Structure 1
Amino acid sequence: MTHAPEILRYAAFTSDPAGGNPAGIVLEADDLDDVAMLRIAGEIGFAETAFISDGAAGPRRVRFFSPHAEVPFCGHATVAGAIAIAEREGTGHVRFSTPVGDVDIETSEVDGALRAAFTSVEPHVEEMPAPVLDALLGLTGIPAEALDERHPPRIAFAGNRHPVLVVADEVYFDRFAFDPAEARALMDEHGWPATITVLHRLPDAGSDEHPGLRFEARNIFPVGAIIEDPATGAAAAAVGGYLRALGAVEPPARVVIRQGRHVGRPSELVVDIPERGGTVVSGTAVPIG
């Protein structure tokens, strides 16, 4: 007789349990089938839940489920899952075998807090067809002239395909709204399993701790009661690949992305962009409750 799996809850990309992006974590999930994983993800109700094998024979097999469906990759649940493992087994290297390929994570303790950094699969960037851009602008009500000419619309991949819009006008960035059912239909039509990423480039040049470009992000993600994602590691990885492909940064470069302000769960994601290969996304995570 198998025992009921332990369900953990963490907030990722924050040091505050009331901030960041909540993730469900199920360790030793080897005996769970697809139906059970989807059911548990629905009961937890977070944007994603990670189901992690025990990893005794090599990389830990990981699958990610939203309450709606399986998601190929989830960055915030990867960070939360790696930190949950580090709390139990100590810091160091862990490898997750995900549906999009192996993902390497390094965990460490910095100033008394556990931190995880994952390296994405190889990013790539596609042109955004004009009808798709028109549909996104129609969904959000953002006029084309409000977009940032320095960062043209693209579809970026680093585990999931994310359409990326960068809005120059802060007013439109803060005030845009959308119909969740229309957003879900558009995402399903184009096979976007995760989020629609909308960015605003912040005017300052960063800090001594995090020099370089800084962005604020809003990630459209209509799943059940969730409409907007508070912190999206997969999208942050894709944005790193997007910036490198467009020549907007000179690698190696570091970019900081703030997210979650608009849904009352502020977060911070640090993206390190190497000259080639996967982008590295790092942050903290803490247990909830």
Structure 2
Amino acid sequence: MILQEYMNTCRTRVDEQLKLVLPESSIVSPKLAEAMTYSVFNGGKRVRPLLVYAANKALGGQAHHADPAACAVELIHAYSLVHDDLPAMDDDDLRRGKPTCHKAFDEATAILAGDALQTLAFEALSTPYHFPEALLSDTARLALFRELTSASGHAGMCGGQSMDLNSVGQALNQQQLQLMHNHKTGALIRASVIMGALSTDKVTDEELDTLTTYANAIGLAFQVQDDILDVTADTETLGKQQGADDALDKPTYVSLMGLEAAQHFAEELCQEALTALSSFDEQAAPLRQLAEYIVHRSH
């Protein structure tokens, strides 16, 4: 299987589904609806929906059953980026080569857009009429809901972001850095893989354990590669300000380990992820290829 073809197919699929979920207009606030759409359709890689679909495929599932989970994780991711870019947090002007939401609109609209995208994610999971072909049981929907809430809140992404903000200017050791990024970045990546598996409605506990090992490895690898790219890539390629982490005096794997050691660590994590999938057949090829993609991407 050619990964780029698979990625293009999945991206097209989730984008079509997201268009159905996002409000086309609003009699209350057209500006808010526009900001929501702007924040979702601004050139994202769609890594998390890709992982949802790939995990579903690895277990012999059907893509239309994974649509609610794929949309939900991307909406959560989009909301997190809108808030992450705000002046109170990273104060970024660029996201994916375009003005950040609070620059394209205003700060208050960006806050509300993030809030609305977050709630829309859970509406997508819990409302069957958005995805009539996704024949998920109530038990499966509840499991998906539980996974996403856990990954998004204080015990997941929000907790990691708080630790990140409170670590500016501090020297963290590798264990502390890993704890932070297992929550800030890794939690939603792990949830994407697990939610893809749960969308099959037939995953075993053993398969979930295996996929969790895979997801933990690629989630951390994703952040290590982000830290590497912040040093090695230029602003145009990144789509955001190069060297932003260093400018904010944030602890990173490159600042802790050095560039070469960080690159080696990313490769180790990729191999750990691939090893975890050794019991899976060729249906897991996209998961394997995505692990390689995550550590070799250029932005």
TM-score in same-fold range (> 0.5): no
Instruction: Give 1 or 2: higher helix fraction.
Output: 2
